[in-house]
Amino acid sequence: MSPRRFRKLRVIVLMQEELLPPETLDGVEDKRSQPWRTEYDVVSTLRAMGHEAWPIGVGSELGTIRQAIQEHKPHVAFNLLEEFDGYPLFDQHVVSYLELMKQKYTGCNPRGLTLARDKALTKKVMAYHRIHVPRFAVFPMSRNGRRPSRLRFPLFVKSLSDEGSVGIAQASVVRDDEKLKERVDFIHRQNQTPAIAEEYIEGREIYVGVVGNQRLQAYTPWELVMTNLSAGALNIATGKAKWDVNYQKKIGLETRPAELEVPVKKRFERISKRIYRVLGLSGYARMDYRMAEDGRIYFLEVNPNPQIAHSEDFADSAEHCGMNYECLLQKIMTLGMNYYPNL
């Protein structure tokens, strides 16, 4: 589809202040290694499609957003914020502010963000709906938590609320109580959040992107594969594997369409849509799973407003279904403009 066929829109693109991208890539050797690559891809692509797009850096003042709305009178705010004032959990309040301003926006609604950010609450809701999740325990801040006897090693320890693999490393998988305490303490210190320890599921790491409000589409299940891991290393999405381009090359990291039997593929898509509806999500989201060697599918967590840089998992799986990057961004904006908070 030619960019000229899109109706011209006024778009403010909300992003963290430190992620404001350059106007061009002149002098940039490797865009993939830049922290602002998603922001650059979205802004530059929207402009190439013929839209008026203004990047808006947001720090600790909601007035910045109000001023941008008053100045540009946007048809839609493209929300790329993952935090506000340095706190990841506050992004849901920014979306609430947009609703109070009666400003249309892309991505997930406040309630969906609130539910998805709490990995333990999400697992409880899924367990109620008889969707398989690993057994887990939460370790609050400033409290000497003890492992419940039902929770068996090995355990995977991570932040209860942070995303983007922050605080996740090979050492996140622990095999005794001493290492468990060490890793929980590490999460408390580094992430400044409660920790969650869930039983580690040996198997394949599979992601499924879902887009829509009431009418949903699940994209091709996508698999994380590491073909050159060192002996004893585990196939997990560590922070280094997610963000360090040189390390990705070293371990042979690939994301690609998951090779699945048709009934299994359909099952992934069906479960993903069900989770999306149960949590009341909107816009777009990515579901993360482990598929055990016996074929059982375990839901791990959901990521509303996942990374949508060009040539990353979500965009690649959409393109595999016939939706190129321009059309994906247009669909996300159309969904945002057609979402009503009271639905």
Rg (CA), the chain: 20
Domain presence at residue 120:
no
**Both 160 and 184 in a single domain?**
yes
Domain presence at residue 124:
no
Domain presence at residue 76:
yes
**Could you tell me which residues are beta bridge partners of residue 286?**
209, 303
Contacts of 246 (CB under 8 A, 6+ apart): none
Helix or strand holding residue 218 (H, E): strand 216-218
Q: 56 is in which domain, residue-wise?
A: 3-106
**Both 239 and 326 in a single domain?**
yes
**Could you tell me which residues are beta bridge partners of residue 10?**
52
* Whole-number Å distance between alpha carbons of 9 and 317: 26
Domain presence at residue 343:
no
**Both 149 and 237 in a single domain?**
no
**Both 257 and 246 in a single domain?**
yes
**Both 168 and 213 in a single domain?**
no
**CATH classification at residue 161:** 3.30.1490
Cβ count within 10 A of residue 325: 19
Decide: 184 and 197 in contact? Cβ < 8 Å: yes
Distances (CA, A) of 178 to 15, 143, 146, 153, 198: 40, 16, 11, 12, 16
Domain presence at residue 309:
yes
- Looking at the 3D structure of the chain, how many domains does it have? 3
**CATH classification at residue 65:** 3.40.50.20
Chain centroid to Cα 234, Å, comes to 21
Cβ count within 10 A of residue 20: 15
At 104 the three-state DSSP class reads coil
**Both 185 and 207 in a single domain?**
no
Give 87's DSSP letter: B
Cβ count within 10 A of residue 196: 24
List the one residue out of 244, 152, 160 whose CA is nearest residue 202.
Answer: 152
**Both 235 and 181 in a single domain?**
no
Q: Which of 61, 89, 106 is the last residue of a domain?
A: 106
- Per-residue pLDDT 10s for the chain (343 aa) are 444 578 999 999 999 999 999 999 988 888 888 999 999 999 999 999 999 999 999 999 999 999 999 999 999 999 999 999 988 889 999 999 999 999 999 999 999 999 998 999 999 999 999 999 999 999 999 777 789 999 999 999 999 988 877 888 899 999 999 999 999 999 999 999 999 999 999 999 999 999 999 999 999 999 999 888 888 888 888 888 777 888 888 888 888 999 999 999 999 999 999 999 999 999 999 999 999 999 999 999 999 999 999 989 999 999 999 999 999 999 999 999 999 886 5
Number of residues that this document lists for the chain: 343
**Both 174 and 249 in a single domain?**
no
* Whole-number Å distance between alpha carbons of 327 and 5: 11
Domain presence at residue 54:
yes
- Residue labelled with tokens 């949590």: 279
For the question of whether the overall pTM of this predicted structure is more than 0.75, the answer is yes
Domain presence at residue 116:
no
* Whole-number Å distance between alpha carbons of 308 and 38: 6
* Whole-number Å distance between alpha carbons of 52 and 62: 22
Beta strand segments in 49-98, E: 52-58, 76-79
Domain presence at residue 187:
yes
**Both 192 and 285 in a single domain?**
no
